[in-house]
Amino acid sequence: MKKLALLAILAFGCSRADGGTAPAPSASAAVPTIEIAKVTSKQLDTTTHLEGELTPWEHVDLYARANGYVSRVLVDRGSHVKKGELLVALTAPELDAQRAEAQAKLAGDKATYDRLKAASATPGTVADNEVDTALAKMRADQARVASLAATESYLTVTAPFDGVVTERDVDPGALVGPSSGKSSTPMLRMEQVRVLRLTVPVPESLLGALAPGASATFTVQAFPDAKFGGVVRRVAESLDVKTRSMPVELDVANDDGRLAPGMFADVLWPVKRQAPTLFVPASAVVESTEKTFVVRIANGVAEQVPVKRGVAEADLVEIFGPLAAGDTIAKHGSEELRNGTHVVPR
C-alpha cells in the first residue's frame, strides 16, 4: 500500500515539466445553454405618452388703423366679446379739420359746377371745357370726402370674432397709430378659446402609425384628475429637422372654458399599424456601437440579424428586419453570441 501511494504522488508531481499541477478541463469548451423565444406577428394597437401644447383657435393683436387719441376703452383683460362689438374709440382732431375743409371745398366746387352747367344751356355762353373742368374738381372733392369718411371709420376698433380679451395695453388719452413693426405694442390682444388647437410633436418613428381622424385623450396639470379629448385634424407634412418630429394638430372643444392657451398637455397618443408587424422580447434586442440586432438560432447555431426598433408594447418591442414570424431567437441577446457560435436552446 505504501508503495502504491508513493507511485501516485510521483505521478502527480511529474505531470507538469515545470513542476505545476495539471489544469482542470476548461469551462469555455462547454457549449452554452441559452433561453430562447419566438418572433411573433401581430397588429400594433397601443398608446404612448407624448407632450403637447394648447393654443387658441384664433388670435389677433389689435392696433389703431389711423393716428389718433384714445377716448374710450370699453373692455379689459378677461372680457368676453362678440364679433363686431366696439372695443376702443379714438378721436383725431386733425382728421376733423381735414374733413371740414374737404366738405367746404366740395360745397364751393359743386356750386361753381352747378352755375356753369346752368349757363351752358345758352349756346356760346360757357365753353364745354370749363364745365368739364368744374365737374372734375367736384368729383375729386367727393372722392376726398369719401376717403376721409373711410379713415374716420378707423377711429372705432371692433372685435373681429367672438372671443376673449387676453391683454390690454392702452388707456384713454394715449396717442396710438398703425403698427410700425414687431416692436410695436398692440392696444389689445384677442383670442378665440371656445375651441383650442392641441399641437403635438410626433416623433418620426411613430409617423407610420399616424391616423387622421383618430381621437386622443390628455391631462393638464391644472386638473390632474380630469381627462380631456381631441381629434387629429391637421398634419404639418414636414419634419422639424432639429427634433425629428412632425407637428400634428388636434381640435379640442372648450365650451366650459377650463382649458387655456399655453397649457402643456400629457397626451395618451394612439399608435396603430394598418398591417401586422413583428415583435420580440425587449431583452432580445442588442444595441452595440456598430448595429442593432437580435440573435437568431437555427440548428443550434447563433446568427446576429440586424434590425430596427419600432414601438415598445408592454414587455415586447416592434422590430423591422429580415426575420419571420416563428423564428427562434435568444431571449436575452448578447454581443458574445457571435455568428457561428454553437448553443444549446432551452
**Could you tell me if 339 and 287 lie in one domain?**
yes
**Could you tell me if 302 and 235 lie in one domain?**
no
- DSSP codes joined into one string, 165-201: EEEE---TT-EE-S--STTPPPSEEEEEEEEEEEEEE
pLDDT exceeds 60 at position 316: yes
Which domain does 152 fall in, by range? 59-168
**Residue 200 exposure: Cα atoms within 13 Å on the Cβ side:** 32
List alpha helices for the chain, DSSP H. 2-13, 93-119, 128-153
In a domain, 2, yes or no: no
**Could you tell me if 71 and 164 lie in one domain?**
yes
Q: How confident is the model at residue 99 (pLDDT cuts 50, 70, 90)?
A: confident
User: What is the CATH number for 250?
Assistant: 2.40.30.170
Kindly report the average pLDDT of the chain as a whole number: 88
* pLDDT tens digits, 31-55: 899 999 999 999 988 889 999 999 9
Q: What is the mean pLDDT of residues 10-36?
A: 56
Beta bridge partners of residue 190, listed in sequence order: 60, 165
**Could you tell me if 53 and 64 lie in one domain?**
no
* pLDDT tens digits, 126-165: 888 988 999 999 999 999 988 888 888 889 999 999 999 9
- Could you tell me if 205 and 93 are in contact, meaning their C-beta atoms sit under 8 angstroms apart? no
Per-range mean pLDDT, top range of 36-45, 114-123, 211-220: 36-45
Using the 8-state DSSP alphabet, how is residue 23 labeled?
P
Residue 225 φ/ψ region, left for φ over 0, alpha for ψ in the -120 to 50 degree band, beta for the rest: alpha
**Could you tell me if 147 and 106 lie in one domain?**
yes
**Could you tell me if 162 and 63 lie in one domain?**
yes
- Could you tell me if 295 and 303 are in contact, meaning their C-beta atoms sit under 8 angstroms apart? yes
- Could you tell me if 98 and 147 are in contact, meaning their C-beta atoms sit under 8 angstroms apart? no
Handedness of CA 146, 148, 149, 150 (dihedral sign): positive
* pLDDT tens digits, 234-292: 999 999 999 999 999 999 999 999 999 999 999 999 888 888 999 999 999 999 988 99
Boundary of a domain, candidates 114, 133, 168: 168
In a domain, 183, yes or no: no
Q: For 296-318, b where at least 16 C-beta lie within 10 A, e where not — what string? A: bbeeeebbbbebeebbebeebbb
pLDDT for 151 equals 84
For residue 11, the Cα-to-chain-centroid distance in whole angstroms is 81
Question: Within 10 Å of residue 344's Cβ, how many Cβ atoms?
Answer: 12
Which residues does 19 contact at the CB level (< 8 Å), separation at least 6?
Answer: 13
**Could you tell me if 163 and 233 lie in one domain?**
no
**Could you tell me if 99 and 110 lie in one domain?**
yes
Strands 344-345 and 33-34 come out as parallel
- Could you tell me if 245 and 236 are in contact, meaning their C-beta atoms sit under 8 angstroms apart? no
Q: How confident is the model at residue 212 (pLDDT cuts 50, 70, 90)?
A: confident
pLDDT exceeds 60 at position 13: no
Provide, rounded to the nearest whole percent, the portion of the chain with pLDDT above 90.
Answer: 67
Can you tell me the distance from the alpha carbon of 320 to that of 303, in angstroms, rounded to the nearest whole number? 16
**Could you tell me if 75 and 130 lie in one domain?**
yes
Can you tell me the distance from the alpha carbon of 75 to that of 337, in angstroms, rounded to the nearest whole number? 73
Q: How confident is the model at residue 2 (pLDDT cuts 50, 70, 90)?
A: very low
- Which CA distances in Å does 90 have to 93, 152, 153, 180, 343? 10, 9, 10, 18, 88
In a domain, 106, yes or no: yes
